[in-house]
Structure 1
Amino acid sequence: MDGSVEKVGTVPVEIREAWAVRHGEAAARRLVEAENFADAMKAAAIPENTADTYSKGWKVWQRFCAEQGLPETEGTRGALVAFVAWMLDHGRKTPGPGGARGYAPSSANSHLTAVIAGLRDPAIVKGNHQPNPAPRDAHAEARARIESIATQLAKSGERRGRGQALAADLDNLHRIAEACDDTLVGRRDLALVLTGFHFASRASEVAGLLLADVTVHPQGLKVAVVTGKTRHSVRTAKIPRNLDEPELCAPSAWERWLAAYGATDPRAAAFPRIDRWGHIGGSMSPDSVTAAVARIAQRSRVPIRWTGHSLRSGLATEGRKNGKDPINIADQGGWARNSKSMLEYMRRADEWDDNAAAGLRRSPKGNS
């Protein structure tokens, strides 16, 4: 049983036929068109990287259901808990870091979220099934199972997955500034890293930038992020000029790159691909941005492995170290002001300076 349902567009045939009986053929046809239009609008509103994440998670669920002989349209308590246990035990197709066949808890949680979303709204995962939301207590128990296993793994010292991205920091940004030469690639790389760092970019946000999205002002740059993942991350970030450390000045790096780039079409990619012969191509993909950041860092002899997300975590971490207001950091990076991930980056910055065990001393005599 594959859970497939005969449809007209995205509307099941039996619903279309019921509309025809109640309202007539012409009205039924218009209702179907309206439903299909609404689904298309919803799909267009989902960021590409989110849709890709949900699609990958749904495929893991389909693989589990096929292996266990379960219908993929039933997110029961038992099915979801069994899915989580399967993922954490041996769900990976190929071994991960250290030879682990189970997913990291964070990945299992991401795949579970995709399944819950896909059961609720098939269009999210491009599924051909009727909506059948999982009961809230069912996925709550499945998430509790993930938390329990994560605790057990931590106690045993087993590490799965890559963990959180290591934050970009100012010392290593100086290394990159020194290593990026005055070639076309060198100018692009420096502008990409410095601009991405200063608006706490995701790789997908850098990849989505067009020339029209980056404007130069006397005080610095304005970066219109229109491909953000959430409503908070669709924003216009302002990057002031850095007169104290000009080698880390993102607006200056952008201006030097723009002069070398020479493009005038506002629809051109802000940071395009450049091949080994210096030929400029189209937009970089998010994966290409991640690979470029890692390559730039390695070439600059940055001693820790950076990823595309290092730029995002780096601004929160360095901003906190420099005493910036958390609200301003959240607004610059497109986080919700109570974002758990942003607060985690800040805790890294505070782990020594604002440590509860730091600088303890006896109270003066006479004080209770």
Structure 2
Amino acid sequence: MRAEEEHPTVLEPVEVVDAELVEASDASGGGVVPADPAAAVLAALEQGAEEELHRARAHKTKTGYTRDWEVWQEFHDWLGERTGHRLSDTDVTRGTMVAFVTWLDEVIKAPPNTIDRRVTGVTVTARRPPYRAAVPKEATLAARELIRKYRNDPARMARGRGQAAHATPEHLRRMHTASPTVPRRPGSRRRRREYVLPDLAVYRNQALTKMAWAISGRAAEVSALDVSHIKLVEEGLEVHVPSVKGRPPRDADVAFGQHPESCPVLAWLAWQGAAELAEGPAFRSVDQWGRLGRGRLSPDGCRLVITRAGKQAGIDVRLTGHSARAGFITTAIEQGKRPDEVRRQSGHAAKSAVFWEYVRKAQRWHNPVSRGIGL
């Protein structure tokens, strides 16, 4: 036998190997071991899928997840102070997740919906680089079992902001006739105690609030509208509401209103004409001098337009970005529109619990069971 056969060479651990070999990572002794090419391909696909999903997430969702992770770290700091040992941020287990939910509920006094969102944010962030932690399914299942229990408690649910105030056609008319003079907001650096909104901003605000109401639009959907999505026809406007955050697009029909002060068609035409909009974003920024911006008004900007318009009109409830959507659904049902027709306009899923809650409230006094039964 040759010398090299009697004393075979010991393979040194390697950093780069071919598709058939990987570096041995166990303590049994160095060298290389056979790799599973299929497992490597699946792992690469899983990682690629996670990266693609991360890129597809909205910026606000990403920033929300960042805050969720910060809260998770605050929880670990709190737990470490009480146990004398701070666990790693990547220790996402059934025990730590349940303790996190309990801490959010009992110490932070967070509403159940916020707790649910925190759990999602922590789970997604833990699985992503640089952490790449394994989050067992039983951990999230146990956390959400507790959250379901919390949602049955009215006191806990009342911790949240509650359902948005519903904007009504009367609110829209009051916003239309409100004075363009706006008092200086607390904390503002403006020298003047009050200022007058430029005419262009007034046209935009009126068109935006009425369009959001008529299409039952979310703030993100109103922000995403382009001029090309809005087509004038004899009966009114045909509005294509684009896909936002993965929701399917839809087409909404906006008829001429019965009152000029609340008509969304007239408001849109006035804004389009004043701003000379031919293409691009439907709703844009307008500065204090009345100069039209090129950029799209953000979803938060659309919400602020509705909130400030309501406050400026002296409406006694605080309107939010969701007030137009909720108000349209409730008003349409109260006026006898069929739920399936309203749902097509709003884009709600057929089994949406939120939508049917609106319907139940709107129909509450249509024909109460206690009426006409001999009382």
TM-score by length of 2: 0.75
SS at match of 1:64: helix
Residue-by-residue CA offset, 1:135-167 (whole Å, 9 max, x unaligned): 24x433322323444555629xx9423111111
Residue-by-residue CA offset, 1:164-184 (whole Å, 9 max, x unaligned): 111111221221222276921
CA distance in 2, matches of 1:341, 1:16: 55
* Counterpart among 253, 273, 278 of residue 238 in structure 1: 253
* Counterpart among 254, 269, 277 of residue 263 in structure 1: 277
Extract unaligned runs of 5+ from structure 2: 1-13, 23-33, 80-85, 181-197
One-letter identity of the residue aligned with 2:287: D
One-letter identity of the residue aligned with 1:142: A
Is the counterpart of residue 247 in structure 1 residue 246 in structure 2? no
- Tell me the number of residue pairs that the alignment of Structure 1 and Structure 2 aligns: 325
Show the counterpart of 1:279.
291
Aligned partners of 2:240 and 2:251 also within 8 Å = yes
Q: Identity percentage over the alignment?
A: 29
Q: 1:306 to 1:145 in 2, by over 3 A?
A: same
Show the counterpart of 1:85.
102
How far the C-alpha of 1:74 sits from its partner, in A, is 4.1
One-letter identity of the residue aligned with 2:97: L
Q: Considering only aligned residues, what root-mean-square deviation do their CA atoms show, in Å?
A: 3.5
Show the counterpart of 1:115.
122
Show the counterpart of 2:54.
43
* Counterpart among 282, 291, 294 of residue 307 in structure 2: 294
Aligned partners of 1:331 and 1:337 also within 8 Å = no
One-letter identity of the residue aligned with 2:141: A
How far the C-alpha of 1:329 sits from its partner, in A, is 1.7
Higher helix share: 1
CA distance in 2, matches of 1:290, 1:62: 31
Show the counterpart of 2:316.
303
Q: 1:160 to 1:295 in 2, by over 3 A?
A: same
How far the C-alpha of 1:195 sits from its partner, in A, is 0.3
One-letter identity of the residue aligned with 2:231: T
One-letter identity of the residue aligned with 1:58: W
SS at match of 2:300: helix
One-letter identity of the residue aligned with 1:61: W
Larger Rg: 2
SS at match of 1:223: strand
Residue-by-residue CA offset, 1:289-326 (whole Å, 9 max, x unaligned): 21211100011111111001111111111121112222
Aligned partners of 2:209 and 2:305 also within 8 Å = no
Aligned partners of 1:76 and 1:135 also within 8 Å = no
Extract unaligned runs of 5+ from structure 1: 1-13, 92-101, 364-368
Aligned partners of 1:316 and 1:329 also within 8 Å = yes
Q: 1:332 to 1:77 in 2, by over 3 A?
A: same
Q: 1:41 to 1:141 in 2, by over 3 A?
A: closer
Aligned partners of 1:116 and 1:134 also within 8 Å = no
Aligned partners of 1:203 and 1:290 also within 8 Å = yes
Q: 1:48 to 1:343 in 2, by over 3 A?
A: farther
CA distance in 2, matches of 1:71, 1:331: 48
SS at match of 1:179: coil
SS at match of 2:322: helix
One-letter identity of the residue aligned with 2:284: P
Aligned partners of 1:47 and 1:228 also within 8 Å = no
Q: 1:237 to 1:67 in 2, by over 3 A?
A: same
* Counterpart among 54, 58, 69 of residue 58 in structure 1: 69
